Structure 1
Amino acid sequence: MKPVFVSLPVLIALGACSVAPEGQSIHDPYEQTNRQIHEFNVGLDRALLRPASQAANTLPDGVTQTVTNFADNVSLPGLIANGILQGDIKGASTNTFRFVINSTVGFYGLFDVADIIGLYEEDTDFGETLAVWGVPEGAYVELPVLGPSTERDAVGEIVDMLYDPLGNWVTDEQLAYGTAANVADKIITRGAFGNSVDSVLYDSADGYAQARLLYLENRRYELGQEQSDAYIDPYADPYFDPYEDQ
């Protein structure tokens, strides 16, 4: 996995990243720049992603589900690699069986046969791998196009994009199909949660602060760093103010 070693200087830098002061759950020293990127992302959503997702909502469920199934299947080799790196043999094995079943019986992943028999995806990424390895979360950052992240997860995004184990087994043309399916899946997902996303980006008093809080709380919960009763869902109230009691 050459890209992992290429990223080592970045990982070393991450190890020296400032950590949120004790008792402070949000560490955002780049807020001014982050807000500018957020405005760019909102503009991109308004101009491209939102209209495309609304168009996707008009397609038959069978079509969108097939695209989602295919996108999920081509992402499985990356999940398997991260599971191995994390020492999660059970998760890596489950995803391996899913990939084999859906790539054969499921006709290249167009049908999620594994899900039908109760073999559910174990989702993960290289950001979680870094967390397992003890790399600190670092500061909050918003990435162009990709959206909310942290310094640790930003490195994870880069590694996941640079290294795709599927490339060892398929042609460049097939990889291009997988990339196109992943983009289409993002659009479909945006459409499925359209009202909730709109409430954060367009209806809240401070969409940046709300998106930041939602991302951090959800991500920490995913990684087991927050208790379930500490999870906050700003989607429940589009005018939720995270600083109301501060």
Structure 2
Amino acid sequence: MRVCVLCAGVALSACTPAQPGAEFNDPYESTNRGIHEFNKGLDQALLRPAGQVTAAAPEIVTTPVANFADNVGLPGMIVNGILQGDIGGAATNTMRFVLNTTVGLGGLFDPAGGIGLNEDSTDFGETLAVWGAPEGAYVELPVLGPSTERDAVGQLVDIVIDPLARYGTAEQATAATTARVAGIAISRGRFSDTMDSVLYESADSYAQARLLYLQNRRFELGMTDQSNGIDPFADPFIDPFAEPFQ
């Protein structure tokens, strides 16, 4: 753990500083756009069809899979809650994990949600933000999609510190990975209209995806975006490149 945090600190020390007055800190835009086109092609070939299949499947099938995928992510969230000093969030996620893993048959069902123990979602990117690490430049990662330098480091550390991956059996790790992949496909199906609008109906899908990610992520972290030229209270699903209604 100590080594992971040290490596994260070294990586973040090299984060690209924002340009004064710039609306977005995106010095890698040319490379990002190339990766965006790759991700878009991957979505069209694999993820979008998979999402259409899951959207057509009955909820009695998809809901337990989505529940299981959410449950296997809780141990990592518990660790991040502790690292952030958010004892309440860590306790909620711990009780949720214990209840859903036992009474909920390994996480296939969500009895915790039924009594108001809802997931306190977090990750190491948020942990770094709590520790005061800068956001860094906007980046689009192959397969993983929109991110920032800080969140990219966070995603890597989340993989390394995940208790289930570190201490679980090989079978448990395989089941968790399979569930996460299935959960992504299910989410793609559930939000297909929004995703299709961004990727295939926007005048500039890269700029739209960038705007949505930064707005939503900064809102999740409780940040205000006026200094970056972004209104955190604006509707993130309005295409900024669309023609104004006459």
Same fold (TM over 0.5): yes
* Alignment match, 2:205: 207
Query: How has the CA–CA distance of structure 1 residues 10 and 79 changed in structure 2, closer, same or farther, with 3 Å as cutoff?
Result: closer
Letter aligned with residue 135 of structure 1? A
| Conservation of the 8 A alpha-carbon contact between 2:77 and 2:93 | yes
* Alignment match, 1:224: 222
| Conservation of the 8 A alpha-carbon contact between 2:125 and 2:154 | yes
Whole-Å separation in 2 of the counterparts to 1:50 and 1:13: 33
Whole-Å separation in 1 of the counterparts to 2:211 and 2:233: 10
| Conservation of the 8 A alpha-carbon contact between 1:38 and 1:208 | yes
Whole-Å separation in 1 of the counterparts to 2:11 and 2:176: 32
| Conservation of the 8 A alpha-carbon contact between 1:217 and 1:226 | no
SS of the counterpart of 1:230?
coil
Task: List alignment gaps of at least 5 residues for structure 1.
Answer: none
Query: How has the CA–CA distance of structure 1 residues 20 and 215 changed in structure 2, closer, same or farther, with 3 Å as cutoff?
Result: same
State the TM-score, normalized to the length of structure 1.
0.92
> Could you tell me the percent identity over the aligned residues?
62
Determine which of 189, 205, 229 is the counterpart of 2:187. 189
Q: CA-to-partner distance for each residue in 1:61-89, whole Å, 9 max, x for gaps?
A: 11111001101111100000000000100
Determine which of 48, 59, 66 is the counterpart of 2:57. 59
2:131 is aligned with 1:129: no
Whole-Å separation in 2 of the counterparts to 1:101 and 1:10: 33
**1:1-246 to 2 correspondence within 5 Å?**
1=1, 5-6=3-4, 8-226=6-224, 230-235=232-237, 237=238, 239-241=239-241
Letter aligned with residue 110 of structure 2? D
Deviation at 1:20, TM superposition (A): 1.6
Q: CA-to-partner distance for each residue in 1:13-51, whole Å, 9 max, x for gaps?
A: 412423223443410000000000000000000000000
State the TM-score, normalized to the length of structure 2.
0.92
Question: More displaced, 23-32 or 109-118?
Answer: 23-32
Letter aligned with residue 241 of structure 1? F
Question: More displaced, 190-199 or 218-227?
Answer: 218-227
| Conservation of the 8 A alpha-carbon contact between 2:4 and 2:157 | no
Letter aligned with residue 66 of structure 1? P
Letter aligned with residue 241 of structure 2? D
Letter aligned with residue 119 of structure 1? L
SS of the counterpart of 1:127?
helix
Letter aligned with residue 220 of structure 1? R
Q: CA-to-partner distance for each residue in 1:169-201, whole Å, 9 max, x for gaps?
A: 531101101110000000000110101100110
Task: List alignment gaps of at least 5 residues for structure 2.
Answer: none
Q: Calculate the aligned-residue CA RMSD, in Å.
A: 2.0
SS of the counterpart of 1:155?
helix
Deviation at 1:11, TM superposition (A): 2.0
SS of the counterpart of 1:57?
helix
Aligned residues: 240
SS of the counterpart of 1:186?
helix
Whole-Å separation in 2 of the counterparts to 1:114 and 1:234: 31
